[in-house]
């Protein structure tokens, strides 16, 4: 049980066609937060799924307390789903957890303890921390490390991995920068962290363990190109503002 620090948390879970994993994710997240002694809610944002993600989440909510399901009418992108969930969140802290269990929700404890110990405004999980474990093949590892290096050179952020799905924020700090974000898809995380850093909020990162839950990845070449374009736009706006 966690004795110090904020006592309540909203966990936002973006989900696009995640009927296979969402029930397990909700159960594991709820159990973790109960063990930590935190009051909590679990906000599932169904990002225009074409499968039964929302139905499975609603069904899980019959036995798991604090589950809320937001349904977007069409697929708007992960960043948009996270924004909707963060705006709807009610508690002192807001966490992001991916639905696919590649980063197990039990690792929220590590982020929470780091926030309490440091007083940071945001704690993010990092695949590129020296103590992290990244259970993926060479291609995804190369793409991830290359993007992280580009971000490091272009933005000089105090972190090395903006894209890992496990993140924890003080709600007031997160909401302060949400109104200034414009990207809706995968580079949304970068824009939020950049906004926090430029506004003087403290961000730290901790190692996470990433496993391969899906039989194959869903990132397409078009997604990579869109992310590159959005990253360039974020750099341009940041450069102009400075």
DSSP 67: E
In the predicted structure, residue 232 carries a pLDDT above the cut 90: no
Cβ distance 164 to 124 under 8 Å? Answer: yes
Least confident of 100-109, 140-149, 200-209: 140-149
Rounded CA-CA distance 169/175 in Å is: 10
Which range in 130-144, 172-186, 189-203 is most confidently predicted, on average pLDDT? 189-203
Nearest-CA neighbor of 238 among 184, 185, 182? Answer: 182
Q: Where residue 3 falls among pLDDT bands split at 50, 70, 90?
A: low
pLDDT: which is higher, 132 or 171: 171
The pLDDT value recorded for residue 97 is 97
Collapsed DSSP state (helix, strand, coil) of residue 172: helix
Q: Where residue 224 falls among pLDDT bands split at 50, 70, 90?
A: confident
Please, what are the domains in the chain? Answer: 8-241 (3.90.550.10)
User: What are φ and ψ of residue 201, in 5° steps?
Assistant: -80, 150
Rounded CA-CA distance 85/160 in Å is: 25
């Amino acid at each position: 049980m966690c004795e110090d620090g904020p006592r309540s948390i909203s966990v936002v879970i973006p989900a696009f066609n995640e009927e296979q994993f969402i029930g397990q994710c909700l159960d594991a997240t709820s159990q973790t937060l109960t063990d930590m002694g935190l009051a909590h809610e679990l906000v599932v944002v169904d990002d225009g799924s074409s499968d039964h993600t929302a139905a499975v989440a609603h069904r899980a909510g019959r036995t798991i307390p604090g589950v809320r399901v937001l349904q977007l009418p069409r697929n708007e992108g992960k960043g948009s789903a996270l924004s909707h969930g963060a705006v709807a969140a009610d508690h002192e802290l807001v966490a992001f957890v991916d639905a696919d269990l590649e980063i197990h929700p039990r690792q929220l404890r590590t982020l929470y303890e780091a926030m309490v110990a440091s007083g940071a405004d945001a704690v993010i999980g990092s695949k590129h921390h020296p103590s992290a474990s990244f259970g993926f093949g060479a291609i995804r590892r190369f793409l991830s490390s290359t993007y992280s290096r580009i971000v490091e050179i272009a933005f000089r952020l105090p972190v090395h991995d903006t894209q890992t799905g496990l993140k924890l924020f003080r709600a007031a700090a997160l909401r302060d920068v949400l109104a200034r974000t414009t990207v809706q898809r995968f580079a949304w995380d970068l824009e939020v962290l950049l906004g926090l850093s430029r506004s003087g909020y403290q961000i730290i990162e901790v190692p996470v363990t990433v496993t391969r839950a899906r039989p194959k990845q869903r990132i397409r070449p078009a997604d990579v190109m869109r992310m590159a374009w959005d990253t360039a736009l974020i750099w341009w706006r940041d450069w102009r503002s400075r």
